[in-house]
Structure formats: structure tokens, C-alpha cells
Amino acid sequence: MDGGLGDGAVEQTLRQVWPDDEVVVLNMQRLSVGASRLSWAIDVTVGGELRGLVLQRERRRGLGRGDMEHEAALLSSAATAGVPVPAVIAADSDGGPIGAGYLITARVDGETIPRRIVRDERFATARAGFARQCGEILGRIHSLPVGDLPDLPNPDPLDAVLEMLDGTGQSRPSFEVALRWLRENRPPQRSPTLVHGDFRNGNLIVDENGIVAVLDWELARLGNPIQDLGWLCARPWRWGQAAPVGGIGEIDELLDAYRPWNGDVDRTELRWWILYSSVSWGVMCLEQARVHLSGEHRSVGLAALGRLGTEMEYDVLRMVQYA
């Protein structure tokens, strides 16, 4: 038993995937502990063949931010478009024996910890092509036919952030000033596409040769595709490095690789989305702190994010000043 999830529940679920084979769980190791999901690395034999899997489960029924079956469908669609993603094994939004909504995928070898990816010598080759690879992958994601996707929300990005800020019960003039500037200087609308919603260094599996999988699709939605590029280039995801694309690459490399898929991206438009991303992340930090303080889920990690919200206030004011 690990975190309320037993081997028996996992074996029972996997037998539905492989009904003609003997399924034996050899090992389960807890991975991340998020606000809405728990994750495990699982070693299992299927008909005597060793397989590595990853199971993500809602912390409790109904708490997840996204529908697990929708996410599985998105992963499958992305794979057909050449986006590197883990292969889907099983998904159920109700949970069954697992007890809450879950997604099981094949385990992909590689690194996800940003400080290693941006610094370790063994990732030097991967870093050399990182920005261009991100541009190509995002181009593939944004080129997926919207009609082939599961039903996804298409929120107004500014309204969504303002609603979240109001939900924290806090008055933050810095974010309110930035939101007003963003509303007054909004770039031209683009046709909505699939937006990953959290494409960044930290949600990518990287090996010595480059990106091998895109993770964490639970915030996927329809919207302006450039918000994915802005999120990738926002300062929180540079991990203390100067390079604007994930702390690794340059914007010219990113946009050059993206252009064949979705045309030119104006730098002014990209800067708008980088500022938006900084405001959005700052408000998300306040919301995570609220979850802790309210008792919904007590976590030192969530509490610490509240302090990052204050740091983001300084960042967004500086960005507005020089916009």
C-alpha cells in the first residue's frame, strides 16, 4: 500500500487492459505530490514481460483539474501528429478500483528536473537544439484539427485570471494594473487552436539527444496558440538562467522553427503573452497558497508558492514599466 493505493487495485485495473496475460505488480514508487494529483512509477510484468508504467491519480475523487479520459484522448491525438508523448495504457475519470480518476501511461526514460537539464554536461547536445525542438513540437500541437479533439474549454484568458484573483480574496494592485494594461493593449485575435497550457522546462522529459516526451496536459484548452510560446519564455521557467526559452535557448531559434507551422509571430505579440504568463503564474501562486491556508490541502510546498506570488508582482510591474 502506498498513499492509499494498493498493488491489488493496480493489478485489477491492468488486468482489464491485458485480460489474457498474467499481470504482477513488482514495485510502486511515489513520485510527485501535487495539489490535485498523485503519481507513481510502477514496475509490472505482463505475461512475464517487464514494463515500466506511470500512474497519475486524482488526490481524491472530483478534485482533478482536468478530465482524465479527455487527457488520454489528447495524448493519443498528439501522438498521431508526431508530438512526443507517453503511450496511453488506460484512463478512467471515475476511478474504478483505483478510487479516483486516473491515467496510466508507459514510462519514458529521461530527465525532468530543470536545474539538471540547464546545467549538466550530459545534456549539452539536447540544449543545443532545445529551442528549435520546442518550436517544432508546439507547431505540431497547434496544427491539430480542433474538430478531432475532445470537448475543451475556450476561456477568455484575462477573464480567467481575474476570476482566479478574485477567488483568492486578496487585493493585489500590481496584478490589477498589469491586467488593465494587458486588456488595453491586447494583440489581434488568432483562430483558436489546441493550447497545451503548461508547456515549459519542467514538464518535458529530456534525454541526452533532446526532448522525448511532453507531459502534464491537464490544463489543455482551446485558445490563442501564442500563449504556449509566451508561457515557455516567461521568467519563472528560465530557472535562474539568462536564456529566454526555458533557460536554454533563444527566441529567434524558437520562432524560426515555429514559423512553418503557424506563420510569423510578432515580437510585440510574444511579449504580451510573456507578461500575461507572469501575471497568470503569480495569481496561480496566490491560489495555491489559498488552498493551503483554507485547509483544503495543507502543504508546505503550496504555502511557499504564496511568497513567489509577491516576487511575480515585482516582475510584472517592471515589465509594464518598460512595455
Per residue in 216-227, pLDDT tens?
Answer: 999 999 999 999
Confidence class for position 307, pLDDT limits 50, 70, 90: confident
pLDDT at 63 over 50: no
Closest C-alpha among 50, 93, 90, 43 to residue 68? 93
pLDDT at 36 over 80: no
Look up residue 218 and give its amino acid: E
**Per-residue pLDDT, 302:** 84
Of 37 and 271, the one with more pLDDT: 271
Q: Where are the beta strands (DSSP E) in the chain?
A: 23-33, 37-46, 49-58, 88-92, 102-106, 193-195, 204-207, 210-214, 221-223
CATH of domain 114-321: 3.90.1200.10
pLDDT at 47 over 80: yes
Distance CA 198, CA 202 (A): 9
> Is there a contact between 85 and 169 (Cβ–Cβ < 8 Å)?
no
Contacts of 79 (CB under 8 A, 6+ apart): 85, 87
Domain with CATH 3.90.1200.10 in the chain: 114-321
**Per-residue pLDDT, 35:** 55
**Per-residue pLDDT, 4:** 61
Range of lowest pLDDT (53-67, 82-96, 268-282)? 53-67
> Is there a contact between 219 and 66 (Cβ–Cβ < 8 Å)?
yes
Residue with cell 488506460: 90
Residue with cell 513488482: 26
Closest C-alpha among 227, 212, 233 to residue 137? 212
Q: How crowded is the C-beta side of 182, counted as CA atoms within 13 Å?
A: 26
Distance CA 191, CA 169 (A): 33
Q: What percent of the chain has pLDDT over 70?
A: 95
> Is there a contact between 212 and 107 (Cβ–Cβ < 8 Å)?
no
Strand partners, 28: 42
pTM tops 0.85, yes or no: yes
How many H-runs (helices) and E-runs (strands) does the chain carry?
A: 11, 9
Distance CA 179, CA 177 (A): 5
pLDDT in tens, 142-158: 999 999 998 999 999 99
Q: What percent of the chain has pLDDT over 90?
A: 82
Question: Which class does domain 7-106 fall in?
Answer: alpha beta
* Cα separation of the two ends of the chain: 53
pLDDT at 233 over 50: yes
Mean pLDDT over all residues of the chain?
A: 92
**Per-residue pLDDT, 1:** 41
The three-class DSSP label of residue 246 is coil
**Per-residue pLDDT, 62:** 43
**Per-residue pLDDT, 298:** 84
Sign of the C-alpha dihedral computed for residues 171, 175, 176 and 177 taken in this order = positive
Look up residue 100 and give its amino acid: A
pLDDT in tens, 164-216: 999 999 999 999 999 999 999 999 999 999 999 999 999 999 999 999 999 99
Helix (H) or strand (E) holding 130: helix 130-142
Distance CA 201, CA 106 (A): 21
Confidence class for position 301, pLDDT limits 50, 70, 90: confident
**Per-residue pLDDT, 66:** 62
Domain with CATH 3.30.200.20 in the chain: 7-106
**Per-residue pLDDT, 64:** 45
Distance CA 73, CA 93 (A): 12
Q: How crowded is the C-beta side of 284, counted as CA atoms within 13 Å?
A: 12
pLDDT in tens, 116-142: 999 999 999 999 999 999 999 999 999
